[in-house]
Structures are given as structure tokens and as C-alpha cells.
Structure 1
Amino acid sequence: MPEPDMTNGEVAPASWPTGSGPFVALVDASSSLERDLIGSWIRDSTENVDEPIHVFDLPPSRRQRAFGSVDLAIGERLTLEDDPLCVPIRVVWLAEKRDGVRRVRLSDLLKPGDPRDPNFVLQRIILRLHPDRCRIVVGEPARRSELEKRWSAPSGRGPADGTTLGEYVALQAWMTLERAERHVRGLRYKVPRFLREDLFWSRPFQSGIQRLARQEGRTEKRMRQRTGRYLKEIAAQHSPYMIDLVNGITTLAIEAAHHDVDYSEAELRSIYTFAEEEPIVFLPSHKSNFDHLVFQHVLYENELPLNHTAGGINMNFFLIGPLLRRSGIFFIRREFRDNAPYKFVLRQYLDYLLEKRFALEWYIEGGRSRSGKLREPKMGLLAYVADSYQRGITNDVILVPVSINYDQITDVGSYAAEQRGGQKEAESFAWALRFLGSLRRQNGRIYVRFGEPLVLSNHIDRDDDLTSPEGQLALPKIAFEVSTRINDVTPITAISMVTLALLSAENHGLTIAETASRLIPFMSFVQERDLPPTDDLPFASNNEIAAALDALVLSGVVTRNDGLTDRVYS
């Protein structure tokens, strides 16, 4: 089923599939009301259908589900000699339509319940007051024979791991309903909902558990428990509710601390044309703890799927960790070199995301730059992605350099303290509150720029030996090329130029006119080398220079002394 860029819930009503029967309707309902709505829809949609229709309930996917609790009657029905067409059906609850757009607002999330997953009482209220918010969606139908063939295939879930045909059909129904729901809601909610069923219990994962158990002298049960804990520790657990909540908070923070986020929608859209065929890996620069939220905000506002972003396990602390995990961050330990089961789980998780074409993101520098200059790139996750490509998990990988730059950053106070010999403050809930509180100060604009993408297959081949002396240079070359392309598109800001002018004065301050004079050679340098400036460069007048200087005064970076005839900045 094709997926639109943006739908806002305005798609054609669902219709009964045109294939011939008999039919097996697989109903994914979270309440008796949803079940009744689907039943009425089936009756209305099949008035002219002569073939028999058998209706079965699936365990509701929006509730805590037990995979083994699939109705045995589904499997029994599928063992008959006929070849029924299996039709998954679900009810979707949409956001309220405002100004022609369906979007969950922060105010909606502060009310009781999830507007996209209302409880039984709210469902009835919504249906009575806003019936347009209730939609029936139909997943892509499939013949029993086709599903049975996939169930019997040597990869994926099937009889080899004890999965019954009924359980397999239920899993496929859930997954195709997720795609159908995205067709209505929009791509920003493209998330892996069935990670445990689809990845952990897959045959490659379970085969790996058996191999690790033999290698480490453990029972399969103990190794299965251990790898299960690791997967739970690592994996992001996207929640549409949290995605909306985090973006709502981020929007408020951007409005409070920055004028706006400056980027090219056309460039972003062009990058996502690659995602139709190959997985994308975004590799941003890292200057602030705000970077992740800013980039997710950009994707959210453009109705694009949010990235799976690698984060250090140090960020998985009280309250904030679960919130970040549900908004798309997956957590990685700092050190796991001698932990083979952990490395296996991480590799399987990345394989899964790449194979399913979920966009990845991590910071090529490994940590925040305290100076503004790019740090030396790290190879860790890049090596995992290259390994996945060489093993044929994906046909190719698109690496996208991203520059995230600021007029001023909120982190500057902590950076200055560290430069004076202070210790880096440990991440904690109190630390997070202080960081959010610091966003009340205006820090100017945020600039997001996209470098020219790198196609991984243009730099390494599947059969290249990356452990050979020559092969060991391949990944560093790619990483440094990414860094170079980030630098190439990082814009020079007005704030940075006046700061450079002030620093060139060494031990004395400058008036506005003196600052303008010192800016001349710096601006000539920028123009001669065709370096990318922001829109407010070059300065059109001394008033613009004064505005940039006063912004630094407001944030406490620069002091201003008002004399009788002029102002001096230092």
C-alpha cells in the first residue's frame, strides 16, 4: 500500500476488498464499541457480497497483548481446504480538525486520555460530538495460501519456532493495519510497534541465542532472558502520544529561546526520496543537548517519520529516560567490548531498523563539541551499519551529513565552567529541569543544513575486507568525508562574526564603528572563499552590528559600557 507524504486523515473511506471469497475478517478492536462499529461497517460494506464472511477477534493491538492468546478458532478456520481472503480491520481515532488540519496539540495531551486511543467513555463522547474523528481502516488483504507460504519460509516466524499459523496471521494482520493507519494519520507515526514479536522471536535472533548459549556455556533459557533484557534496555519504544507531547514541549522551548528554526523544506524532501528505496542515516553535528529535539521537531513539522536516534545510556535516568525512549532514542552502553550477547542484540536491532528502512541518527562526533569545531569522528555505529550492508541486510545505505548550528547555545555556561576546570555535571532529572529552565533566555535562531548525501556502496563493496590494512582506512575516510560535508554547509552567523571581531581586539573593547572596521577583512575572507553565511550577513548597516552585539550583552557573554559619546563592547 503506497504511503502519502501527508494526509491529515483526509483519505477515501475504507471499502471492502474486491477479491473473491470466502473471507476471514480479522477484527482488531480495543472495546465493545469498536467491535460494534466494525460489525456495522462489515454489514454495510458487504450487502452485495454473496460469499461467506467469518469474523474473528484479534487480541487488541493497542492494549497489553499476549501473542500466544490468539483465538485458536482462527487457526482452525485456516486449516480448511478453501483459500479464504484474510481482511484485517481496525478503528482509528483521529485528532480534532482545526483550521483544516488534523494535529494533536499540547493542550489535547494535557487532558485525560490519549486523543488517538480514547477509553470506552471518551470513545462514545467523540463518536457523538465529533463522528468525523472515527475511521475504519482495512489492512492489505492476503490469501491464506500466501500467508501459509510465508509462514513456512526459512526466515522469520514460523513452525520452526513454535509459531502457529493463526499466530502468524495475527501478527501479519497487526503489521498491515499499522501501515493502513499510517495512510490515515501520516508518516510521522511510522514506528516499529511489534519489535518483540517481529525481531526477538525471529529465527535469526533465536538461532543467535542458541549459538551464544553454546559459546558461553549457558542454557538457552538463560541466554534468551539475558538478550531479552538487553533488547529492552537498548530499543526505542515510540509512542505516538509521547511523540506529540515531546514536540509540543519542544515547540514551546523553541518559541521561548529561539526565534525559529531555519532550514530548507525542499532539501529535506529531496533527501527523503532516497528513503523510498534505501534506509537513511542522518549524521548531525553536536553542539547542544537541544540538538536531538530540534531535528525531531523539523521532521515532525514536515510529517516525516522520526529518526531512531542513538543516545548514551547516561541519558536514561529517572522520568527523562522513558520519555526520550518513547520519542525515538535508543540507548547504548559506553563500554561493551567483551559482552558478546550485548553486541549481538545491538547488531540485530540495527539490522532490523535498516531492513525495515527506519531512519537512523547518531552524532558522528560521539559527543558535544565544546568549542564549536567538529570533533574527530567516531566509527562505532558506522562500523555496525557497514557490516549490515556487507551482510546483505540492505541493498545500500544513504548517509546524510547534517549541520545544526545556533546563534547562541544554552549550554555555553556549562562549557565555560568546564573550560575553567569544573567537572561536567552528571545528567539527572534536576539537571534536565535546569536545562529546560535555561531555555527561557532568547538565543537567536537555529540553523539546520543538509550536506550532500553519501551512498555507502560508492565507498565500500560488499566483499571488501575491512580488517585488512587498506580496508581499515575505508570507514575513517567515510567518517571524515561526512565531517567535511558538515563543515561545507555550516553557516557563518552574524553573532559569530561580531564575536570574532571582539576577540581580535585582545585586551580592550570596541565601539560599533571599530567593530565594523574589524569585520571588513573577516567578511572578505568569507566572500572570497564562498563560505555559506546566514541571511543576516553581510551586515547592511552599523545598526545590525549593534543588534548582534546587544544580543551577546543580553545573554551575558559580552559587557557594554555606555560612554558620553559612544558605547564600548568587550
Structure 2
Amino acid sequence: MSQLDSRRASTGSNSHVYLIDAMSDLDVQAANQWIDDQSGDSEHRPESVVMSPDTLAEFTDSAAASDPLVVPLRVSHKSPDQQLALSRRVVSRLSKSVLRWAPAQDADSWTIVVGEPATLSDLRERFDDTGGRSLSAFIARQASLALDRAEREVIGSEYKVPRFVVEEMTDRASFRTDLAALAESADRPVEDVENRVHEILDEMVATENHRAVDLWGQLGKYFSRAYNVEVDKTGLQAVRDLNKTHPLVFLPNHRSYLDPLVLRPALLKEGFPMNHVMGGINVGFWPIGPLAKRSGVVLIQRKFSDEIYKWTLRQYMSFLLGKKFNLEWYIEGGRSRTGKLRPPRFGLLSYLFDALDNSTASDAYLVPTSITYDRLHEVSTMAEEMHGAQKQAEGIRMAIGYIRAQGKIRGTVYLSFGTPMSVRGFLDANEDKRVAVQKAALAVSHAINEATPVTPAALVAMAMLGIEDRALNVNEMWSIIAPLSTYIRDRGLPTAGGIDLDNVDVMTSAVRAQVAAGVVKRFDEGPEPLFYLAQDKHLVLAFFRNNAIHFFVMRAIGELVVLRTKDCPTGVVAAEDLWKSALELRDLLKFEFFFGDKREFGERLEAEVDLIDPQWRTAISEPSYAVKSLESQPFHLAHRVLQPIFEAYQVVADQLLMLSPGKEFDKPAFLTECLGAAQAKRLRQQLEHSDAISNELFDTALQLAENRDLLDSDAAGVTVRRRDFAAEIASWARVSGQIRVMAHIALDKVDADAARRRGENT
């Protein structure tokens, strides 16, 4: 049995009392033996009291006059560093007794932990300041918290967990005052509201313990065993420094059910304490839910209008911030099924801003967090859902199938972090808290995109999806990827693991990985190997393209804006014409991408057009300039990035024109009709991109249509406005189709140039 230095207990006080925090009689015996050893031959062995409500109440009454130094003591059981042998048996037999699977302890692993001491009078004074109801209960909590802090020196910072949450929250006088005000506003008896609050806290509050944390970590390793995790440590240094003085709120994108299982161990390995993950109660099913709750997951209802529930959530978040516990949730609200970052949800962020105002914490920092997979099993399932398949309900059967599937793939997941953002800074800069929340959410979303690295898988997807009806040989494939790689390097964009995308071997491995996954097919029966998209895998590959699509949107817009000038009726083009077209596209695509304000949008667009041709300002009015300028470019993006979106939007616009007047809009039925219409158009070669057949894209098109008041068939002038909407989309689809033709002509030249070089060499 080992021990910590006990000098903290030797403060010169004439009398001190040890409070023993024990889980068993063996712990009591071990603690008393340690006290005996510390006393040596002294005639006055310090008193020891086992912490329990009765003994502590008796102790506080009897010792008030002598004012002893109270020294908390605990027998800590260190966790051995070993892996759990997890199998189907673990998954199928987890229950309320799940913690039996955690590693057992032996007597040789005990460590005596001594917490920070305090005099009884000091504890009484602190108790009076809180307005609590029980001095003995307060002393017990303070002793346990002091021991928790000391114990983390032994077992590690991952075990920094809040204790006595409900007791600390509800025992304060300020809480009871606010509760009374809440009951009055709800016009309900205080007792009823208090009971409701306790029900919510029982469901919501994470009740961590060491063995559950250990087991959750082992389960996480098993669930994510298919992946190697690479962490951008450069971005973490500023985050680590801030965490010394402030609570952090990690806000990752959401790509997979694995996200929290990947992020937690990576952060713990880098020395961060465990996050409190704000998770939807939909994952609270047995056995995952009970274990998750005991491991730091806060289970909250996904939708709620109950003012008592909202108030309780704010109180809990305020408590966690005041105790400097880190939080984590997924700002998109749910998994992205397209690979693009979804619009942020403001709900939890709004509660956070309210909680900070009511917390003892001076500030909290938002940490934009990017999680990127180069392969992901569940993409195929999400693609099926975008084609109309029903989403499988979360449950034990789904979880078991998901776990099994992880053994069938191998890949890498990349974790990157943006610059932390001060919550207090947003509040101080905006008088309206709602505006502060919205600006913070958009800033975090933009930072997540900027931190997301370009993967080799994204480039392979970009190449294949631009020419999906055509197989590529090796030379053609590289003719697309090489200039894209150069563009990425010239712009200084982040790359996965810092790898060199110009390296032929790196990109060859990426193509082979997609072939092995069955997303890309290889044809070897001809004179040379050919690669082409597998049937019905377009949305799967689009997911990986879309992980990096935000880096290429402005370039694609620049191509379209420049090319559209050739249709100018006067033949003379001014910069104002380019800007007008750009703003039209910005409005058309505002539900797909984060563009920033008009000034930022203009600066980014101008920089992209400069890359296309630095002389465009003086040459724009020359006849045929636009076409010649774009034809000379080493690569084209508009047909790869934006044409599928325009085609999906066109389907929605055409279906809106068919809606009957006076009929109430039925969104589910309308989406089903769009899906059938899109599939029919693709079969008839009226759509050039199969990834345009997507309920997710139809949904964002409907958001745009609703924003323009096009869903109400009885609205004034709606028929004309629907026609204008369809015509606007068709015009941009036509221009992006012209870019596609350019790209195919460039591909045709690749083989011709290769043949010419072979002839010259012979």
C-alpha cells in the first residue's frame, strides 16, 4: 500500500480530526492504520470520523468549541492500465450491473489520499455564506470535493467529475429564491415546481464514477478500433493554455456516431479533463444510455417548450461553468448526411450565454472542432436515407450492427481545432443577446470549416464526380487531381495530417482505398486500367467531396460569374455586372454554404477571380475574353461543386410549378414527388449528376423557396414568382453545364497529348 505526502495535515494546529471517506470496512481499516502509522509513538492519536450523516452531525455539535482542523482522508484505488476484452458478450449483457466489467482492484493498488484541510469554524462560515440547510451535509461535500482534487494527482485529470451536483445546486439560498420566482411566474405551487425540477435533474445530470469512465473509454476504443486518430496538436496549445483559467466549450461538427468516442480519448491523451457531452436523450436507450450518463454524458430532450425544463438546464450549465468543467456538443444538432456542415442550431448556445451571465465564471471559450474521416461505414446508410429510405431508430439492435461493421473497414480520423472564441466577447460586442448567439454560432461554423483539412479521399471524389458517366485512365485522373493539389498548396489550405497531395503514391493509395470500399470500380479488360463510379455510390462519394467543398465554392462562383459575361447583350462588361451576378448566386446558395457578410464575400470572390486571371479588370470587356480565359485554366470546379445543387434545385422549382392552387403544402409528399421526378430525369439523361438526387438538397431548396414565399399556392403573384425562380436556377445550371463541357474537352486532350509524347519518344 502506497501513500501521499501527509504534510498538508501537519499545520501546527493543536487538534485535528480526520474525516474518512470510505466505501467499505476495509477502507476504514486501511485509513485508520495509516493514521496510526503517522502518529508513531505519539500519545495523542488524532481523532478519526467516518463520514456519514449521523456521525458528522454529532461531530459538528461536539467539536464546535475546540474548533479542530478537519482533514479529509480517502483510500484511492488506482485503475490498472489494461485493455478490456470486449466482444459481443459485453454488448449483449450490459445492464445496470455493467460496472462489474470494469477492472478489479487488489489491495496492493491502494493509495492514501489527503485532501486540503480547513478549520471547523472556516467551514461553518462558508456554509453560512451559501445559505444552506445542513452543516454536516455541507462538510461532507466539501471534504469529498477536496479529496477529488487530491485524488486526480494519482488517477489522472480524466476523472475530474462533479460531485453532489443536485445537492449543491438545490441547497443554496439563491437557488431556492429563484425557484420561488419560477413557481410564481408559472402560477404553480413551489412544491410542485421543485418536484418537477428534481425529476428533470435526475434524468439530465451526469452521474459519473471512475469505473464507468474507465469502461466507457474502453468501449470507445473498441467501437472506433477501425481508425487511427491524428490530432492537430498545433491548434491545441492555445486551447490548453486557456483551460488553465476558463471552462471550454468544444463545438465539433457531427459526421458519425463515433465522434464523441473519438474526441474524448484524444483530448484526455493531450491532458484535458473529461468533457460533459450534451447529448440527445434519443441515445439514452439501454444499455448505452445508463453507461453514458455515468461517464459524463448529459441526456437532454431534443425538443422542449417547458419553461421549467429550460430553467433547470440553464441552472445546470451555470453550475458546470462555475466549477470550470468543460462542455461539448455538436453545433449542427445532428449528423450531416451530405458531408457539408449543416446550419448551426442556436438552442444550447443560447442557454450557454444565459448560464454564463448567471454563473460565477468570468468567461467561457468556444472551441471550433473539426472531425474528418477518410472512410466511414455509415455513409452508405445515410445515402440510402437521402434516397428515401427510412432512418433506423436508435436502439440496441442498431448499436450491435454498428459495432460489428466497424471491424470491416480501416481508416484515419483527423481532429483539428480553430482559434477559441470568448463568449463574454460576443456578449459585450452585442447588446441583443440573440444577435450575440447568432454571430457566435456562425463564427464557430466558419472556423470549423476553415480548420477542416482536405483529404486525399476528397480529391478523388472531386475528380470522379465531375465526370461520373465517363471512366478515367490514370493519366486523366492525375490531370484533374494534380492542378487541384497545386491550387490547395498555393492557397495554403490545411491538408489531412499535413500530407503532400502532390505525391502520386498518396493519391494512388486513396484511389485504391475507394476501390477496396466498392465505391469506385476498376476495369482491367482493356488496354489500360480504367476507374469509374460504382452504381448507386454517388452520394457516398459526394459525402467525402463535401467534407472539403467549402474551400472550392468561391472559385466555382468565380468561374460562373466570369463565363456568364459572354451573354451580356451589349457586349461590354463592367465590374458591376460581375458583382450583381455574384450577389445573385450568394442569395441562391445561402442555405448551402457560409458566406459571411457582403464585404467579406466580395473580398474572397475578388481574390479567386484574380487567381483565374490577374488582368480581368482591364480585359473583361474584350470580346470572347471570358470563354478564352476559362478555357485556358488548368482545372474547372463549377460543374463539380455547384451543378449538382442547381440540378436538385431545378427539380424542386419544376415541382413547385405543378402545385395546384388552394392545396395545402404537404412537405413529405412533395419530397417524395421530387425524388421520383429526379430519378426519372436522370434515367432520361436530363440530369447530369446522380448526386443531385438527394432529399437533403431538395430540403435546402425548399428552405430557399420558403424564404422567397413560394410555398403558399394562394399567395399573391406566386405563379409568376415560381416561374422566375425556376428560370433563375435554369440559367445558372446552363452556365455550369458549359463549364462541364470545357472540362470534358480538356480530358479529351489528355490522351491526345500522351499519344503525341509517346510518338516523340519513339
Q: What TM-score range do you get, normalising by the shorter chain?
A: 0.7 to 0.9
Name which of 20, 44, 60 aligns with 1:75: 60
CA distance in 2, matches of 1:95, 1:43: 26
Give the drift of 1:478.
1.4
Tell me what 2:452 maps to: 490
- Aligned pairs for 1:464-543 (under 5 A) are 465-466=431-432, 472-534=434-496, 535-541=498-504, 543=505
Name which of 401, 406, 409 aligns with 1:442: 409
Helix, strand or coil for the counterpart of 2:20? strand
Helix, strand or coil for the counterpart of 2:344? coil
Give the drift of 1:104.
4.6
Tell me what 2:396 maps to: 429
Match of 1:233, as an amino acid? E
Number of aligned positions between the proteins: 522
CA distance in 2, matches of 1:536, 1:82: 68
CA distance in 2, matches of 1:12, 1:116: 25
CA shift in 2, pair 1:567/1:77, >3 Å: farther
The Cα offsets for residues 142-184 of structure 1, whole Å up to 9 and x where unpaired, read as 011111110111x3x52xxx31x22221221111111111121
CA distance in 1, matches of 2:327, 2:193: 28
- Aligned pairs for 1:75-474 (under 5 A) are 75-79=60-64, 81-96=65-80, 103-107=81-85, 126-127=106-107, 131=108, 133-153=109-129, 155=130, 158=132, 162-163=133-134, 165-255=135-225, 257-258=226-227, 260-265=228-233, 267-337=235-305, 339-461=306-428, 465-466=431-432, 472-474=434-436
Match of 2:168, as an amino acid? D
Structure 1 position 559 matched with structure 2 position 521: yes
Give the drift of 1:116.
8.4
The Cα offsets for residues 33-84 of structure 1, whole Å up to 9 and x where unpaired, read as 221111111122123767662221113xxxxxxxx555432122232x2221
Tell me what 1:46 maps to: 39
Assess if the C-alpha contact under 8 Å between 2:235 and 2:418 holds in 1: no
Tell me what 2:615 maps to: none
Assess if the C-alpha contact under 8 Å between 1:13 and 1:136 holds in 2: no
CA shift in 2, pair 1:417/1:175, >3 Å: same
CA distance in 1, matches of 2:327, 2:473: 47
CA distance in 2, matches of 1:151, 1:171: 11
Match of 1:137, as an amino acid? V
The Cα offsets for residues 507-548 of structure 1, whole Å up to 9 and x where unpaired, read as 11112222111112322321222111123332422x443321
Assess if the C-alpha contact under 8 Å between 2:366 and 2:420 holds in 1: yes
Match of 1:506, as an amino acid? E
The Cα offsets for residues 207-257 of structure 1, whole Å up to 9 and x where unpaired, read as 3333333333433333222111101111122232222222212223333x2
Give the drift of 1:450.
0.6
Match of 2:494, as an amino acid? P
Assess if the C-alpha contact under 8 Å between 2:238 and 2:419 holds in 1: no
CA distance in 2, matches of 1:289, 1:216: 38
Tell me what 1:6 maps to: none
CA distance in 2, matches of 1:72, 1:472: 48
CA distance in 2, matches of 1:200, 1:391: 15
The Cα offsets for residues 326-379 of structure 1, whole Å up to 9 and x where unpaired, read as 222112212222x11111110110001100011001111111111111111111
Helix, strand or coil for the counterpart of 1:417? helix
Decide which structure has the larger Cα Rg and report it: 2
Deviates more, 1:346-355 or 1:381-390: 381-390
The Cα offsets for residues 4-58 of structure 1, whole Å up to 9 and x where unpaired, read as xxxxx99854446121121111111222222111111112212376766222111
CA shift in 2, pair 1:432/1:562, >3 Å: same
Match of 2:439, as an amino acid? K
CA distance in 1, matches of 2:379, 2:452: 19
| Long gaps (5+) in structure 1 | 1-8, 60-67, 97-102
CA shift in 2, pair 1:216/1:481, >3 Å: closer
Give the drift of 1:107.
4.6
Assess if the C-alpha contact under 8 Å between 2:79 and 2:103 holds in 1: no
Tell me what 2:736 maps to: none
Helix, strand or coil for the counterpart of 2:527? coil
CA distance in 2, matches of 1:451, 1:350: 23
Deviates more, 1:521-530 or 1:429-438: 521-530
Deviates more, 1:269-278 or 1:368-377: 269-278
Assess if the C-alpha contact under 8 Å between 2:255 and 2:372 holds in 1: yes
The Cα offsets for residues 108-160 of structure 1, whole Å up to 9 and x where unpaired, read as 99899769896xxx6xxx22xxx2x111111100011111110111x3x52xx
Relative to total residues, which structure has the larger helix share, 1 or 2? 2
Assess if the C-alpha contact under 8 Å between 2:8 and 2:117 holds in 1: no
Name which of 18, 24, 33 aligns with 2:10: 18
Deviates more, 1:203-212 or 1:480-489: 203-212
CA distance in 2, matches of 1:39, 1:480: 57
Tell me what 1:65 maps to: none
CA distance in 2, matches of 1:537, 1:488: 18
CA shift in 2, pair 1:208/1:390, >3 Å: closer
CA distance in 1, matches of 2:4, 2:47: 25
CA shift in 2, pair 1:16/1:333, >3 Å: closer
CA distance in 2, matches of 1:117, 1:82: 44
CA shift in 2, pair 1:105/1:414, >3 Å: same
Assess if the C-alpha contact under 8 Å between 1:491 and 1:532 holds in 2: yes
RMSD over aligned CA atoms reads 2.6
Assess if the C-alpha contact under 8 Å between 1:10 and 1:184 holds in 2: no
Helix, strand or coil for the counterpart of 1:560? strand
Q: Normalising to structure 1: TM-score of the pair? A: 0.86
CA shift in 2, pair 1:407/1:292, >3 Å: same
Tell me what 1:64 maps to: none
Match of 2:488, as an amino acid? V
CA distance in 2, matches of 1:108, 1:11: 33
Match of 2:491, as an amino acid? R
The Cα offsets for residues 468-512 of structure 1, whole Å up to 9 and x where unpaired, read as xxx542221111111111111110000110111111123111122
| Long gaps (5+) in structure 2 | 91-96, 533-762
The Cα offsets for residues 353-406 of structure 1, whole Å up to 9 and x where unpaired, read as 100011001111111111111111111111112122334532011111010001
CA distance in 2, matches of 1:390, 1:30: 38
